[in-house]
Amino acid sequence: MTKTKKKVIVGLSGGVDSAVSIIKLQELGYEVEAMFMRNWDSSLNNDILGNPHTFDEVCPQEVDYLDAVKVAEKLHVKLHRVDFVDEYWQKVFSYFLSEYKANRTPNPDILCNKEIKFKVFLEKAMAMGFDYIAMGHYARSVHEPEVQLLRGLDANKDQSYFLCQLTKEQIAKTLFPVGEMTKSEVRALAKKYDLDIAGKKDSTGVCFIGERNFKLFLKNYLPANPGKIETLEGEVVGQHDGIMYYTIGQRKGLGLGGAGEAWFVLGKDPKRNVLLVGRGENQEYLYSNRAIVNKLNWLGPEIVGEFNCVAKFRYRGADNKVIVRKLDEDTVEVFYPAKAKAVTPGQAAVFYDGERLLGGGTIDEVFMNQEKRKY
């Protein structure tokens, strides 16, 4: 009896990583199709979002779609196109705005993965009769004997941080074909197959929204609320456009000069609508050694008492040795005795045991010993 091929549908973004994912799956003998997700209506408000275009131009999302069409034709796979615009707005973008309104710095890519790429996309794929979905993320999934998510082999491109909110059920249905590859190997394989996008630059910016003048973008949805910029000592040194537009540790775009070291954002005082700054990137106020992390998604062994592991407090951040103590079902207290810089509420704390991703949650409060930072 001939063994039936497993059916996989790849989230084809128009970039090189998802395109090479198709190649790798074809080489492994899977029956492969692809799907392009349209999650943002790029035609809306482009004139005031800092990303204007004329009717003769093609918006970036449509360029990506045309690239996806070319890849599908070249690799002889059927390409589906689906709109998740409403789901993205309700599940991701509304939360993104609410966090900024609360003067926190959210990570929409993590929520986008949880709610769109690995939820509604996965549900659509299962309804269409596929066995797995596949994505071009630099991460690795293990399905047996225990479902686990691992860091990508290429440490410089590892994207497991952005997958910290996935459930074991989602991981069990997902393949990451480029997770065992380096970026240079991915581009080389794309070139070998003569794909036009072999040298296409990596996408950046907000998930599915892309690169924009971010301040102008936010102003379209959240009204500006200008106020004072002060030092920790209370000296007024400038004016800000709205504290929601700034993040902890930020250097550029403050409009502050003068002799001496550069100015950095140290904190926020929402009650007074004041942005707190200081000179020098190693200001003591930027450091903390304890945080409360909520909305925890835990994939590792049960936390009993205190649990030792490492954590990343931002995507490109270093691993920090931490002690995790459970407070309730979705909240932990995280201690990092060696201190860490610019641990920011709204961002994700992601926990690892070696290569294995243990889970992640949202940084809610930050402390230096008993002093709560005004982050």
DSSP output for 53-100: --TTS--HHHHHHHHHHHHHHHHT--EEEEE-HHHHIIIIIHHHHHHH
Q: Is 309 a catalytic residue?
A: no
Q: Which amino acid is at 39?
A: N
**Residue 369 CB-density burial (10 A; 0-12 exposed, 13-18 middle, 19+ buried):** exposed
150 DSSP β-pair partners: 140, 356
| Prediction pTM value | 0.89
Q: Residue 58's CB: how many other CB atoms inside 10 A?
A: 12
Q: Which of 173, 202, 156, 196 is nearest to 17 (CA)?
A: 202
Peptide bond into 52 cis (omega under 30): no
**Residue located via tokens 């892309």:** 210
- 105 near 245, Cβ under 8 Å? no
Q: How far apart are CA 267 and CA 249, in angstroms?
A: 8
Domains by residue range for the chain, with CATH: 7-199 (3.40.50.620), 224-279 (2.30.30.280), 284-372 (2.40.30.10)
- Residue ranges of the alpha helices (H) in 209-357? 214-219
- 132 near 28, Cβ under 8 Å? no
80 DSSP β-pair partners: 35
**Residue 54 CB-density burial (10 A; 0-12 exposed, 13-18 middle, 19+ buried):** exposed
Q: How far apart are CA 66 and CA 69, in angstroms?
A: 5
- 267 near 230, Cβ under 8 Å? no
- 339 near 320, Cβ under 8 Å? no
Render 9-32 in DSSP notation, one character per residue: EEE--SSHHHHHHHHHHHHTT-EE
Residue from 59, 164, 207, 309 carrying the catalytic annotation: 207
**Residue located via tokens 């930072």:** 373
Helix (H, G, I), strand (E, B) or coil at 45: coil
**pLDDT of amino acid 211:** 52
Q: How many residues are there in the chain?
A: 375
Residue 259 is given by DSSP the state S
pLDDT beneath 70: ranges in the chain: 1-3, 41-60, 204-214
- 224 near 241, Cβ under 8 Å? yes
**Residue located via tokens 């590859």:** 181
Q: Is 164 a catalytic residue?
A: no
Q: Residue 155's CB: how many other CB atoms inside 10 A?
A: 9
- 152 near 160, Cβ under 8 Å? yes
Residue from 59, 112, 164, 309 carrying the catalytic annotation: 112
**pLDDT of amino acid 42:** 60
274 DSSP β-pair partners: 269
